[in-house]
Structure 1
Amino acid sequence: MRLRSHTGSISVLSRSGLAILLSLTVILGVFFPWINFPVFGGNNNESSLTKWKEYTLAQAVSFVAKNQTLIVCAVSHPYLPFLNNWLISISRQKQQDRVLVIAEDYATLYEVNQRWPGHAVLIPPAPDDQTAHKFGSEGFFNFTSRRPRHLLHILELGYNVMYNDVDMVWLADPFQYLQGQHDVYFTDDMIAVKPLKHSSDLPPPGKKGRTYICSCMIFLRPTSGAKQVMKKWIEELQGQPWSRKAKSNDQPAFNWALNKTAGQVDLYLLPQVAFPSGGLYFKNQTWVQETKGQHVIIHNNYITGFDKKIKRFHDFGLWLVDDHAQESPLGRV
């Protein structure tokens, strides 16, 4: 290799060449740390952390969305292994680039953006990271009750948005099932088997006077109807605060919002065979075999506890992070 100058060529192996290279190394060593990286640089210095802390939902949505559509989840740091498992399954469907992680603590915000710049945002105020996220706890309620506000904000920015809990695994691309121009798409959380070609209407109320729709897989278009449902969901949550006696979660409020807006909003129930509840998929193996090849998103619900969920995923070959971490945008976390 030779360096060319106006006086001729200099071999990098000569004394002059080595001196030039040494000088360049010193210059870069002095000035390189002071170079300002762009917001998506992913460096770990204090300036970068400040930028991610100031990163807004509008900026994040604009960066992530593809064809005015994005996929959103909300995650606290203990759930990073589930986030990674979910991301691997989404990457297999080539949809990972439109994923936005709503971080519910700063540790998650910084770690995700360090590994995958621009794909995590925190919407202040962050919930207390010391509160338990155990199902039925006050911390869990505070965590999940922020969801409709996040989704409403995204709708008001003019985007289609799919929400998923991260204890889900994609086996196929769900977007092929989002046909038509309905306002709100959702899944039934019941374990009773429906006919393969069941109605897409909101099911009738159950024993408690409301439906039993899952609030963990939702697709919304930026319509007045979808915004109306989100506003009603927020209103219902405000009217049903958590208490030790009534250990509320966000799902009943979502169902009341659907029930109270039905007839005013275009609602669409997705097919059970493609989007089964965990109570059906993991507990009715006869049905699973009969419908093999038709499942799209599997939800690991009807069970609580990190270890129990991981074990069940393991037992059914759906815990992907041990052997396939390289398929995740985050790598091994």
Structure 2
Amino acid sequence: MDHSGKLRESSYTYGPLRENWTILLTVNNAYFDFFRNWFWAYRQLDITYSIVIIAEDEFVYRKLREFKSETVTLTRSGHASVHESASFGSAAFSTLVSARPSHILNYLKMGINVLYSDIDMVWMQNPFPYFTGDFDMWMELDNVNKDNYCTGLMAIKSNKNNIRLIEGWEKSLQETLQIDQIAFNKVVKHATIRLSILDSNKFPNGFLYFEKFTEEERNLAVILRNDRLSTLQVFLDSAPVPVCSPQITANFSKP
């Protein structure tokens, strides 16, 4: 990938895109265990949407080639390799996520609807039935600033208004290195789109899920946004799917 965010032409494809909705993920080596957790939980849902995984470094690209699936496409972004987790708000974090709108645009411009998901999300139910109504985009609100949208989960239809919005987001990040969510919330205020807010009872953040929800409410959750956790181990210890256990690892490796 060059500095414009465009993907290299070469990619490693496991299977064709079979749906107009495609799930888009970005993974670097430091977050590989997050990806394993996400993918294992996704596979338990028994749904077959096309998935595009963008490997942000050569180390994780090699690892991801082993996870073959007929609906998964893997491509290499061209970022430098990252061994340590980039903390939220750091320059390293901003550099990694600044390419997010460029990745999304590549598929929107091909007429493909994109569901972008951070890999610290835990999918417990199929989210696609919740993307209904006459809307262009579906997002969550940020749990800290309720006036801001969270860019960790974005269901985006391919249309002119959305492409224009994501282009503006991309331009803002190319001009100034900043947290991508802050840039998005500045740009979206001037956009002409129909944006639906996802129900936090169905798409809760980590605080709601672990501290406020009853067991019944947890069972009704669709996607958990396990945000603002300081270490990978905290996430893995608290996530509904304990991916690092031998049993889970064995299940994950099955075809």
**Does 2:27 correspond to 1:75?**
yes
| Unmatched segments (≥5 aa) in structure 1 | 1-52, 192-204, 242-247
Structure 1 partner of 2:223: 297
Q: CA–CA distance in 2 between the matches of 1:277 and 1:108?
A: 27
Structure 1 partner of 2:10: 55
Structural RMSD (CA): 2.5
Cα 1:96–1:325 shift into 2, 3 Å: farther
How far the C-alpha of 1:155 sits from its partner, in A, is 0.3
Identity %: 23
| Unmatched segments (≥5 aa) in structure 2 | 1-7
How far the C-alpha of 1:88 sits from its partner, in A, is 1.1
Equivalent residue in structure 1 for 2:124, among 165, 171, 174? 171
* Amino acid in structure 1 at the alignment position of 2:43: S
Structure 1 partner of 2:186: 256
1:154·1:161 contact (CA, 8 Å) conserved in 2? yes
* Amino acid in structure 1 at the alignment position of 2:156: L
SS of alignment partner, residue 224 of structure 2: strand
Cα 1:213–1:170 shift into 2, 3 Å: same
**Does 2:64 correspond to 1:121?**
no
- Residue by residue, what CA displacement relative to the aligned partner does 1:63-113 show, whole Å, maximum 9, x if unpaired? 442222211110001211111110111111123652221100112222212
Structure 1 partner of 2:174: 238
SS of alignment partner, residue 163 of structure 1: strand
- Whichever structure has more helix as a proportion of its residues is 1
Q: CA–CA distance in 1 between the matches of 2:49 and 2:190?
A: 35
How far the C-alpha of 1:181 sits from its partner, in A, is 4.4
Structure 2 partner of 1:87: 39
How many residue pairs align between the two structures? 244
Q: CA–CA distance in 1 between the matches of 2:90 and 2:151?
A: 17
Structure 2 partner of 1:188: 141
Cα 1:184–1:164 shift into 2, 3 Å: same
**Does 2:253 correspond to 1:325?**
no
2:30·2:84 contact (CA, 8 Å) conserved in 1? no
How far the C-alpha of 1:132 sits from its partner, in A, is 5.5
Structure 2 partner of 1:312: 238
Cα 1:278–1:260 shift into 2, 3 Å: farther
SS of alignment partner, residue 119 of structure 1: strand
Cα 1:240–1:131 shift into 2, 3 Å: farther
Equivalent residue in structure 2 for 1:267, among 172, 195, 198? 195
SS of alignment partner, residue 115 of structure 1: coil
Q: CA–CA distance in 2 between the matches of 1:279 and 1:235?
A: 33
* Amino acid in structure 2 at the alignment position of 1:276: P
Structure 2 partner of 1:159: 112
Runs of 4+ in 1 over 3 A off after TM superposition: 287-290
153-162 or 174-183, which deviates more: 174-183
Cα 1:131–1:249 shift into 2, 3 Å: farther
Cα 1:86–1:176 shift into 2, 3 Å: same
2:236·2:243 contact (CA, 8 Å) conserved in 1? no
**If the length of structure 1 is used for normalisation, what is the TM-score?**
0.66
Q: CA–CA distance in 2 between the matches of 1:276 and 1:64?
A: 32
How far the C-alpha of 1:235 sits from its partner, in A, is 2.5
How far the C-alpha of 1:161 sits from its partner, in A, is 1.1
**If the length of structure 2 is used for normalisation, what is the TM-score?**
0.85
- Residue by residue, what CA displacement relative to the aligned partner does 1:43-74 show, whole Å, maximum 9, x if unpaired? xxxxxxxxxx8524xx85x9442222211110
Cα 1:269–1:81 shift into 2, 3 Å: same
1:169·1:299 contact (CA, 8 Å) conserved in 2? yes
Q: CA–CA distance in 2 between the matches of 1:269 and 1:277?
A: 14
How far the C-alpha of 1:115 sits from its partner, in A, is 3.5
Q: CA–CA distance in 2 between the matches of 1:64 and 1:145?
A: 27
